[in-house]
Amino acid sequence: DADVTQTPRNRITKTGKRIMLECSQTKGHDRMYWYRQDPGLGLRLIYYSFDVKDINKGEISDGYSVSRQAQAKFSLSLESAIPNQTALYFCATSDPRAAPNTGELFFGEGSRLTVL
């Protein structure tokens, strides 16, 4: 089983619908992240969380919200999806207690979201 699991892997939805992407991890890492990938734009950070009580906006947080339900779970929500949120979404974790602490990310397999 993957250490970082994303569900769903693929989702097609309609404009205006609420959609949630879920991420769970078995790595025991405190830090979790949501990135969005668009062709030609690389990966851009949406939100990140350094522990259950800590939520931070990333580069492109507008139109998104997150919930850190537990150390192992970090969900990304689109309250009212729009077509330009069609993208590949990645969840990632990192371990600040690693020695050395390099900030290395461990990625899930991605969730492909299409908003019609």
- Asked if 21 and 86 touch (Cβ cutoff 8 Å), the reply is no
Of 63, 116, 58, give the one whose Cα is nearest residue 91: 58
Cα separation of 96 and 93, whole Å? 10
Q: How far is the CB of 61 from another protein (least distance, A)?
A: 13
**Between 18 and 59, whose beta carbon lies closer to another protein?**
59
Q: Which CB, 34 or 78, lies closer to another protein?
A: 34
Which residue has tokens 């990135």? 35
**Interface residue list for another protein (CB under 8 A):** 33, 35, 40-45, 48, 50, 56, 58, 88, 90, 94, 96, 100-105, 107, 109-110, 112
